[in-house]
Structure 1
Amino acid sequence: MLTEAGYPNGFAFNLNCPNDRYVNDEGVCQAMAAMLAQAGFEPRLVTEPRQMHFQKVDNHQVDVFMLGWATLPMLDGFSVLSAMLATKEGEYGTFTPKGYSNPKVDELTKAVAVEIDEEKRLAMMNEALMLAKADIAWLPLHQQPLSWAARDTVEIPQAPDDLVRLWYAQVSQ
């Protein structure tokens, strides 16, 4: 596939990762670099403290980078749309990769911000997210699972959003 794309010998790029932000972040990036190398790429792994890492990300001084994102409010795509996919303008696009911009995504994001009809709002978010997906605004390579531990007498249901809701916990004897 690299040959078909015009890169028969692959190509080099930096893979920037923090080493003090996420669970096993440096190890995850080492594994990712090894897998990318096996696929014919030439990743140069750059790991550094989160403050340096995110300063480079904010200034678009990275090629490929690690990022974690907690959607707030939970189970709502507006956080991703407004921060990660909207054109950087005012309160929008605070974390838009490499200046990504799609006027239709912007239009939908601004409409979602004020729409109170849940069905319409979800449809607009879906449309905007599908546009960004078609543009390949982001290319997720890894999703970090969460690990929990509790005594065998404690049952805590796992929710799809990975939030702990202790009011659902049950303790047996």
Structure 2
Amino acid sequence: MSRIGKKPVAIPNGVTADLKDGQLSVKGPKGTLTMGLSDLVSYEMGDDGIVVQPANDSKEARSHWGMQRTLVSNLVEGVTEGFTKTLEISGVGYRAQAQGKKLKLQLGYSHDVDIDVPEGIEVKTPDNTTVEISGIDKQQVGQLAAEIRRWRKPEPYKGKGIKYRGEYVFRKEGKKK
């Protein structure tokens, strides 16, 4: 039994949701998001929000139940508040600079790394060692953050690299003589 799936997804004021033709469309103050619906799960608009239930008693339907409810919840949260990921860069000479729809990174390579920012995502650099990625689609925000981090993952000896804010980097002791 899914504990997450049992709870209905509350729809706040100013947000509208439409179930049509196998698509869920959620419109709010920050924009509109759509999602394809799974055949293994049934979706109903109720008084207390969107109720997600498994379509039958098969194991596969029950396994999709909680995840589908979470995806619906992410749509509602995205159009009301949005999502933000913050990356921190540490290392001598490592820096980042947002330039319109591009992010320019200097990470110790012989060349600068230019990353194109997809439509609907906003990248800010409050200082040259912090990158803030924000948008209404949680998957796109997380994917862009992972692609940026992949260029220089934090290493365990000095902690140099790109890490998520709040991420703990396990530090190793160096070689002994």
* Structure with the larger RCO, 1 or 2 (CA within 8 Å, 6+ apart): 2
Please classify the TM superposition score into its range, dividing by the shorter chain length.
under 0.3
Q: Which has the higher helix share?
A: 1
TM-score by length of 2: 0.27
Whichever of the two has the greater Rg, that structure is 2
TM-score by length of 1: 0.27
Q: Which has the higher strand share?
A: 2
